[in-house]
Amino acid sequence: MTKTNLTAVATAFVLATAVPVWAAGNASTTTPVTGDTSHGAATSVQPSGSGAHHEHADPKAMDAAMAKRDKSFPAKTAGQGAPDLEPTVTADGTKEFALTAKIAKWELEPGKVVDAWTFNGTVPGPTLKVAVGDKVRVVVKNELPESTSVHWHGILLPNEVDGVANLTQDPIKPSETFTYEFTAERPSVGWFHSHHDGTKQVANGLWGTILMGEMPRPEGVTVAQSRTMHLQDGGVIGLSLNGKSFPATEPVHAKLNEWVEIHYVNAGGQAHPMHLHGLDQLVIAKDGYPVATPYKADTVLVAPGERYTVLIKADRTGDWLWHCHIFSHAEGSQGMFGMVTALTVS
């Protein structure tokens, strides 16, 4: 190597190491501001009256503000997303569910209440659980100020109930009702959502899950709890897990050596790499299709529309952070926010 080349290499090395350090330092004062304004829900996470730029000139004040926010987890808010919805069973055994699309107040994090577009008043909407072979009827009443429709993503059904406004049905106008009927043909991790002005309606809260049967689990695995983890990043809901932003996200509690099953559902517009500290995630299904060979991952990338089903053996005690690994979706100089929760093993 010539002396000139050596100098060039040395210069490049200095730049390569120096630039990220400088950029990282700079980012700590600037990123949260731009990051927050691009995501509605994160805007409010600045502690009130903090004045981000001034605050960061004083590391003690910054630490105090971050600690206050981070340690308030899990913070209480009104309302819980994705509650199970009990069906009415009709004389012929059909499981009938009632969904009402309506605007409702929704508390994302303490004190931050938005006008969400909801099914039955929650974000995400209700969870519908049926067995394979069940006849299913879902009666959707539209109490929104505009038309809507409901698509059943990941569910085998007749085309006329696929729920695409202006393609397979007329939009459900305000105050109108539409009935969706189909039979649960196979085990499915499905989700339902508006397919009319979806940019606004889905991001503002109009989605939920429909689960048919169960995903096959490895031999000897008994699941102590099965849950959904819904991802959202837009509309009035913003960066959130199950309709709540950290510190109001709900932690998952497990006893040592229990198995926990999670269905990730990405109802948002961006892919989110969901990382769990300390414990393995065993991926057993993608979009409700069992994978041929379950595989371990510590980070599961969930793209818009996708579902991943993972099993977690809670075999180490502690508070294990669980978050989207895009840091601008999870933590900044104000502390943690958005797509962050924890798995507590005791």
Number of residues that bind Cu ion (CB under 5 A): 4
CB of 7 to Cu ion, least distance (A): 41
Binning the chain into helix, strand and coil, the percentages to the nearest 5 are: 20, 40, 40
Asked if 193 interacts with Cu ion (CB under 5 A), we say no
For the segment 4-33, give every residue that binds Cu ion (CB under 5 A).
none
Asked if 329 interacts with Cu ion (CB under 5 A), we say yes
User: Residue 151 or 323: which CB sits closer to Cu ion?
Assistant: 323
For residues 273 to 312, the per-residue mask of contacts with Cu ion, x marking binding by CB under 5 A and - elsewhere, is ----------------------------------------
How many DSSP H helices and E strands does the chain contain? Answer: 4, 22
User: Residue 210 or 339: which CB sits closer to Cu ion?
Assistant: 339
Asked if 324 interacts with Cu ion (CB under 5 A), we say yes
Q: Which stretch binds Cu ion (CB under 5 A): 45-53, 70-78, 150-158, 326-334?
A: 326-334
User: Residue 151 or 272: which CB sits closer to Cu ion?
Assistant: 272
CB of 341 to Cu ion, least distance (A): 13
Token readout for 33 is 């501001």
User: Residue 162 or 233: which CB sits closer to Cu ion?
Assistant: 233
CB atoms within 10 A of CB 157: 17
Q: Which stretch binds Cu ion (CB under 5 A): 4-12, 44-52, 151-159, 269-277?
A: 269-277
Lateral strand order in the sheet of 240-241: 240-241, 223-232, 259-266, 307-313, 281-286, 289-297
Asked if 241 interacts with Cu ion (CB under 5 A), we say no
CB of 233 to Cu ion, least distance (A): 6
Asked if 326 interacts with Cu ion (CB under 5 A), we say yes
Q: Which of 272, 275, 307, 323 binds Cu ion (CB under 5 A)?
A: 272
Alpha-carbon distance of 160 to 158, in angstroms, equals: 6
CB 300 within 8 A of CB 310: yes
User: Residue 31 or 317: which CB sits closer to Cu ion?
Assistant: 31
Q: What residue spans of the chain are helical by DSSP H? A: 3-38, 52-55, 59-70, 198-201
CB of 329 to Cu ion, least distance (A): 3
CA-nearest of 281, 277, 274, 287 to 229 is 274
Q: Residues 132, 137, 143, CA angle at the centre, nearest 5°?
A: 135
Q: What residue spans of 141-272 are helical by DSSP H? A: 198-201
Q: Which stretch binds Cu ion (CB under 5 A): 29-37, 156-164, 185-193, 325-333?
A: 325-333
Which residues are CB-neighbours of 32 under 8 A, at least 6 positions away?
A: 46, 52, 332, 333, 334
User: Residue 195 or 244: which CB sits closer to Cu ion?
Assistant: 244
For 221-250, what is the HEC assignment? CCEEEEEEEEEECCCCCCCEECCECECCCC
Instruction: Tell me which residues touch Cu ion (CB under 5 A).
Output: 272, 324, 326, 329
